[in-house]
Amino acid sequence: MIISIKYQPRLLDDKAKEGYLNWSLDFFTDPNVIQVPCIDLTIQLEVTDAYKMYQSNPQEGATFFSFLIWHLVQTLKNHFSFNLRLIENQWYILDNPPVIIPVAVGGQDRFWEMLLENISQMSYPEFISQYRQKLERIRKGKGQRAELETFLLSYSFGNLSNLQFTGLTLHWRRDANIGQPYFYFGKRYWQNNQLFIPFAAKLHHACNDPFVFDLLIQDFQQRFINNTDTEPIQG
C-alpha cells in the first residue's frame, strides 16, 4: 500500500513508542495469535454546549452532524494514537488523514461513500463548503465507492440519525484492519435539560483503548466550553 503524501505520513519513531505502545503494537497485531483485536465502545455523549455553539454561529449548509465531525477531526489530530496505521509491517502516523462518510441513497445501491480530504487543515466554513458539494453530488446520483486503500487510511464517520442506540458493534475486516478508527453518531435526545447523542467507536487495541478514548472525549467536549469555533487548532 502506498500512502499519499497529502495524508502527511511519517514513520512512528522509537521515542513515541515508549511505554504501552512498545508492547501493544506488536501484541495485538501478532498473526500467530487468534484474537479479536478491536474494542467496541458506545457512550451517550453529552453535547449540550456543542449544540449551543452550533446554533450561535449558523453556517449555510451545515448540519449538527457535520459540525461535530469537523470539531472531532480537529481534536483527533492532537491524539496521535488514533492516527496510527500499520502499513507493510511498519507503523505510520498520518497527520492529515482523510474522512469517509457513508451516505444512504436507498435503492439497490443503498450507500455511497463521501470522501473528504484535508479537513484537519481547513477552517469550519471551508469544510462545510466541501461537505455540501460532495453531499449534493451524491444525492444527484454521482456517488462512488471509495478505494479500499483510501478507506483503510481514513477516519470513518457514520450517522444513524433515526436510531437512539445504546450499543453498536461495527464491522471490520480481519485481513485489512490496519488501525483505523470507526465512529458512528445516533439520534440525539434531551434528558434533564441536557442534549445527548449515542456515539459508538471501534478502536484497534494495538494503538487505542478506553483510556485514550476517554482523553479524546474530554478534549472534544472542552472545545465547546472554550468556544473554539471556526479555526483549526495547530498540532
Angle in degrees, 0-180, between the axes of helices 48-56 and 210-225, rounded to the nearest 10: 40
What's the pTM value of the predicted model, to 2 decimals?
A: 0.91
Please give the Cα distance from 83 to 95 (Å, whole number).
7
Per-residue pLDDT of the chain (235 residues; tens, 9 = 90+): 889 999 999 999 998 888 999 999 999 998 888 778 899 999 999 999 999 999 998 899 999 999 999 999 999 999 999 999 999 889 999 999 999 999 988 888 888 999 999 999 999 999 999 999 999 999 888 877 888 889 889 999 999 999 999 999 988 776 667 899 999 999 999 999 999 999 999 999 999 999 999 999 999 999 999 775 555 444 3
* Residue carrying the nine cell digits 484537519: 120
- Joined together, the cell numbers standing for residue 22 give 512498545
Is-contact 224 196, C-beta < 8 A?
no
